[in-house]
């Protein structure tokens, strides 16, 4: 996974595949052992009891990686673009982590995790770590464990972490709260000028990538996006989203995408926006963890009589739901 990988102890000296030794796992991940990285992410995905210890061990390495999100509708070429971006970033000497989120079945809970299939070019590169994650029913385009998985890859020494969302619709914008730079991918023929000015996913883009630019209608798509950008109100010095054309399947336009990402990174640093986004990301993580803990406690109340008693009072009109919620929170505090 990194230049240090060659110094990792030989396989079998210390097994990490089922290890629960957090300091050992972090040490091996820092040294570039992909099995240790995989084990840490698995523990994170499973919501293991070791998660607080893992987060504490990784805290010193937070904010050291550039996080780039790639999102867009199904079929616009996110996986192919991610694959080519990895190639460009490796050519620049960066160590790269990829988190590719795939949708899970609402019926069986399973997922194909097919994004990784499109990235086999980098399967043997020790400077690249690729992990497919199932959304596990989580809405917003990401998996619930994605933020902590990003921290694992930061701790493992990745310079850049690419987060590829599931194929999303207009309202799935969660990736913007996780990424330093958000790429929204589009393709010709996926909407008209009215579609381009609708609120939603197009508003989160730092860089627009019009992929499959060899198709008819690409000029109209670029014009529509540029028109939407022109409608936005921006003060002096504010970032104006870039519009880049690409044909990722042929590797065309990838250098332009990388240049746009670098340009946005420079703007973030220059204007102090990078720190603001990192703090906003940390606030969202803290809130999510706190809410998760509250949900777990509320779930435990379902096994008792408190919630049932309150629900019965609300149902018969003896109590309003807001007062009942206040009583429930008071019980949780006790």
Q: Report the chain (334 residues): mean pLDDT per 10 consecutive residues.
A: 42 67 93 92 90 92 92 88 95 94 64 60 85 69 81 94 79 79 88 54 88 92 88 83 95 96 96 92 87 79 77 93 90 78
- pLDDT for the residue 58: 92
- pLDDT for the residue 37: 94
For residue 207, the SS3 value is: strand
Distance of CA 225 to the CA centre of its chain: 24
For residue 101, the SS3 value is: strand
How many beta carbons lie within 10 A of that of residue 100, not counting itself? Answer: 25
- pLDDT for the residue 11: 45
And the tokens for 217?
């209608």
- Helix (H) and strand (E) counts for the chain? 11, 7
- pLDDT for the residue 140: 55
Burial of 262-291, coded b for 16+ CB within 10 Å and e otherwise, reads: eebbebbeeeeebeebeeebeeebeeeeee
How many beta carbons lie within 10 A of that of residue 121, not counting itself? Answer: 12
Bin 65: left if φ > 0, else alpha if -120 < ψ < 50, else beta. beta
- pLDDT for the residue 210: 94
- pLDDT for the residue 92: 94
Strands 66-72 and 128-134, sheet pairing: unpaired
DSSP H helices in 46-77? 51-58
- pLDDT for the residue 9: 45
Do residues 139 and 73 touch, judged by C-beta distance below 8 A? no
- pLDDT for the residue 8: 42
| DSSP bridge pairs for 129 | 97
DSSP H helices in the chain? 22-30, 34-45, 51-58, 78-91, 146-155, 193-196, 218-231, 254-270, 273-301, 306-315, 321-333
DSSP state of 10: P
Q: How many residues does the chain have?
A: 334
């Amino acid at each position: 996974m990194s230049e240090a990988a060659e110094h990792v102890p030989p396989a079998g000296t210390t097994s990490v595949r089922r290890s629960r030794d957090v300091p050992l796992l972090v040490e091996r991940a820092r040294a570039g052992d992909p099995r240790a990285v995989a084990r840490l992410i698995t523990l994170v995905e499973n919501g293991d009891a070791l998660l607080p210890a893992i987060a504490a061990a990784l805290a010193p390495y937070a904010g050291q990686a550039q996080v780039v999100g790639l999102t867009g509708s199904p079929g616009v070429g996110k996986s192919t673009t991610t694959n080519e971006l990895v190639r460009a970033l490796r050519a620049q000497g960066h160590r790269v982590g990829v988190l590719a989120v795939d949708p899970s079945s609402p019926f069986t809970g399973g997922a194909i995790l097919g994004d990784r299939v499109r990235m086999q070019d980098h399967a043997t590169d020790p400077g690249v770590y690729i992990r497919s994650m199932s959304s596990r029913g989580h809405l917003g385009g990401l998996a619930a464990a994605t933020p902590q998985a990003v921290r694992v890859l930061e701790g493992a020494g990745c310079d850049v972490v690419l987060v590829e969302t599931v194929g999303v619709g207009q309202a799935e914008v969660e990736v913007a709260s996780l990424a330093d730079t958000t790429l929204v991918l589009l393709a010709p023929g996926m909407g008209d000028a009215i579609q381009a000015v609708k609120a939603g996913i197009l508003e989160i883009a730092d860089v627009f990538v019009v992929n499959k630019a060899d198709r008819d209608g690409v000029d109209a798509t670029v014009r529509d996006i540029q028109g939407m950008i022109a409608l936005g109100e921006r003060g002096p010095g504010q970032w104006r989203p870039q519009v880049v054309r690409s044909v990722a399947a042929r590797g065309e336009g990838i250098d332009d995408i990388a240049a746009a990402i670098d340009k946005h990174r420079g703007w973030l640093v220059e204007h102090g926006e990078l720190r603001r986004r990192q703090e906003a990301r940390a606030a969202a993580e803290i809130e999510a963890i706190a809410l998760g803990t509250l949900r777990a406690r509320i779930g435990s109340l379902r096994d008792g009589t408190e919630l049932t008693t309150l629900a019965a009072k609300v149902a018969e009109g003896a109590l309003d739901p807001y007062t009942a919620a206040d009583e429930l929170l008071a019980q949780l505090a006790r």
